[in-house]
């Protein structure tokens, strides 16, 4: 079972990493606390689902969806675009280690002339590459889907071409 202290520590580090990226992106100061909270909550959703044995991709997707919806909610109260909240909050969920091992495997494959090591190395590189790809897709879908679903003018844009009448 995950210790509460370990969980709280990871919760804090998700928020601190998001604040670091928010400062790097030069966001307004009034948005820093909501970014911290969103990153911590999104990261904790990911950690809880991993603890329960779910997939890393599913945990990342649900954490990013939570961040996406919370960023829309925070945008109304802090008068900033939702992306100001969502992008720094979701960056700590980027799979850096899988991307690193993918690139390391590609470099080893380019220098490898031994046929006995080639197939396992290729298998590990492709596995890490696909994990990276699917996690990044889950982050992108999780952040942008709530914003696309809650746009106020999306229904008008869908109905407009069907009901459009030429005015002369």
Dist CA 165 CA 168 (whole Å)? 10
Tell me what percent of the residues of the chain surpass a pLDDT of 90. 56
Dist CA 47 CA 38 (whole Å)? 14
Chain position carrying tokens 């990342």? 60
pLDDT digit string (tens) for 10-64? 889 999 999 999 999 999 999 999 999 999 999 999 999 988 888 899 999 999 9
Please, what is the angle between helix 115-149 and helix 82-90, to 10°? 160
Task: Answer for the pair 38, 53: CB distance below 8 angstroms, yes or no.
Answer: no
Phi first, then psi: give them for residue 28, nearest 5 degrees. Answer: -60, 150
Q: For residues 125-142, give the mean pLDDT.
A: 95
Dist CA 116 CA 97 (whole Å)? 25
Would you say residue 163 has pLDDT above 90?
no
Dist CA 115 CA 135 (whole Å)? 31
pLDDT at 2: 59
């Amino acid at each position: 079972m995950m210790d509460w202290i370990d969980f709280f520590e990871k919760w804090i580090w998700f928020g601190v990493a998001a604040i670091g990226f928010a400062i790097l992106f030069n966001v307004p100061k009034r948005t820093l606390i909501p970014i911290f909270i969103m990153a911590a909550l999104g990261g904790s959703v990911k950690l809880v689902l991993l603890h329960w044995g779910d997939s890393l991709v599913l945990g990342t997707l649900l954490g990013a969806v939570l961040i996406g919806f919370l960023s829309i909610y925070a945008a109304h109260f802090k008068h900033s675009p939702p992306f100001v909240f969502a992008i720094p909050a979701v960056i700590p969920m980027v799979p850096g280690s899988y991307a690193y091992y993918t690139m390391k495997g590609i470099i080893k494959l380019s220098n490898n002339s031994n046929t006995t090591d080639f197939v396992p190395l290729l298998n590990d590189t492709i596995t890490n590459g696909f994990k990276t790809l699917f996690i990044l897709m889950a982050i992108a879908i999780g952040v942008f889907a709530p914003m696309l679903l809650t746009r106020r003018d999306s229904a008008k844009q869908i109905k407009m071409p069907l009901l459009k009448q030429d005015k002369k």
